[in-house]
Amino acid sequence: MVYRHFSRFLSRHLTRCLLCSAACPHPSGICGPCQADLPALHHACDLCALPLPDGASRCPHCLRRPPAFTRARAAWHYSFPVGQLIHNFKYRGDRVAGRALARLAAERLMPVAEPPDLLVPIPLHWRRYWHRGFNQAQLIAAVFGHQWQIPVMPRLLRKRTATNTQQQLNRGRRLGNLRESFIASKKVRGLRIGLIDDVITTGATLEAAAQELLNSGAVEVSAFALCRVS
C-alpha cells in the first residue's frame, strides 16, 4: 500500500516528457524511449557534418573546397520530431523545448580532444533579436558551456548587417548574402573558438562567421549544432 501511494506521488511530481507526456525523470524533459527515437546523426562529413552514406568521410563540396572551420558536428538530422521542437523553440518562444534539445545534444557532442577555449553563439542582428526577444544560439551555448565547463562569450561576434531570410537560398547565394555580415573582437586572438548554432543548413553562416574569427586572430574554429539538414 505504501509503495502504491509513493508511486502515485512520483507520477504526479515527475516532469512529463515533451514528446509522449509520460513521467520523465531525465533532466532534459525527454524520456529515454523518446530519446532513442530521435533521428541521431551517426555518419556525416568529417568537416561540415553533412549526412553521408557509410564508407564516405568527406562530402564532395568539402573535398573541392574545405571550409574555414576545422570541423562541424551536429547531434541529429533535421527531421521529425527534432525539426518541430526547434521550430517551436525559434518561432514560438518554446524555450523548454530548446533547453531539452540542448541538454541532450551537449551529452552527444561533448568535445574530448582539444576542446575550445571559448564558446561563441552565432549572433542575431539587433532587429531580429528585438523581434524574437532572444537568440536561440545563445541559449544553446549557455547549456553547452555549463555542461562542458567552457566559458561562453556572446559579445565576441556581432552581426553588423541584417540579411534577408536564407531558407530558400543555395549555399553560394547564402555566402554572398552573408559576406562581411559579421564582425569579431580582437579578443579572440590566439584562441580556439567553438561556434554554436541551432541548425546547419548549408554551412554558409558558419563559414562566414568562422572566416571572420580567423581573420581576427583565432587559431582554430570548430562548430556545434543541434541538427543538420541533409
Contact between 31 and 17 under an 8 Å Cβ cutoff? The reply is yes
| Beta-ladder partners of 12 | none
Contact between 24 and 96 under an 8 Å Cβ cutoff? The reply is no
pLDDT at 6: 38
DSSP 64: H
Tally of helices (H runs) and strands (E runs) in the chain: 9, 8
pLDDT at 129: 87
Domains of the chain: 1-37 (no CATH), 42-228 (3.40.50)
pLDDT at 5: 47
Please report, for residues 2, 18, 50, 94, 139, the alpha-carbon distance to residue 97 in angstroms, rounded to integers and kept in the order given.
35, 7, 24, 6, 11
pTM of the model: 0.88
Task: State the CB neighbour count (10 A cutoff) for residue 85.
Answer: 23
pLDDT at 113: 82
Which parts of the chain register pLDDT below 50?
Answer: 1-3, 5-7, 9-13
pLDDT at 39: 97
- 24 CB-near residues (< 8 Å, 6+ apart): 14, 15, 16, 17, 30, 31
